[in-house]
A and B are shown apart, each in its own frame.
Chain A
Amino acid sequence: MAQLRQDYDEFVERETAVLVLGPENQQKFASYFGEHNLPFTGLPDPKHSVLKLYGQQIKIFKFGRMPAQVLVDKAGTARFIHYGHNMQDIPSNTEMLDLIDSLED
């Protein structure tokens, strides 16, 4: 997440909101975000409601301990879905930023 924080301005420039969801509770989120001074939106999901919502019917989108990213454009359409195969398997910011640039028709 430090890397995401580093390039956060680039996402803002591209009119992209960054929402981080996780199974931790509100307190842990507040503590972590405060400690690391993270500028993005943190959404605690201890009931796994959104995790499950986004995990249904995508066979490879299993919510084990792997990270996942979904890019939604301004029309509300899911334009990119990535499921990580390990904890480090996260698309680079450059890749995501290029993707966002390509969304603009």
Chain B
Amino acid sequence: MAQVELNAPAPDFTLADYQGNSVSLSQFKGKQHVLLVFNRGFM
């Protein structure tokens, strides 16, 4: 079961962005750092 642990591999995922493009966490590996912001609502 995936979990988020400090200094351990972050769980990979794939979601479509709001423009319909597929985005996976793994696509950034070796290329960019990633800041994941879990927003709790736009309000």
Spell out A's residues near B (CB within 8 Å): 1, 4, 11, 14-24, 26, 28-30, 32-33, 41-45, 49-51, 53-54, 56-58, 61, 63-81, 87, 96, 100, 103
A to B contact number (C-beta, < 8 Å)? 154
Closest-CB distance, B31 to chain A (whole angstroms): 7
Contact residue among A16, A22, A32, A33 (Cβ-Cβ distance under 8 Å from B35): A16
Complex contact B38–A76 (CB within 8 A): no
At the interface, is chain A mostly helix, strand, loop or mixed? Answer: mixed
Q: Interface extent on B, as a size class?
A: 35 or more
Q: Are A75 and B29 in contact (CB under 8 A)?
A: yes
**Which residue from chain A places its CB closest to the CB of B1 in the assembled complex?**
A56
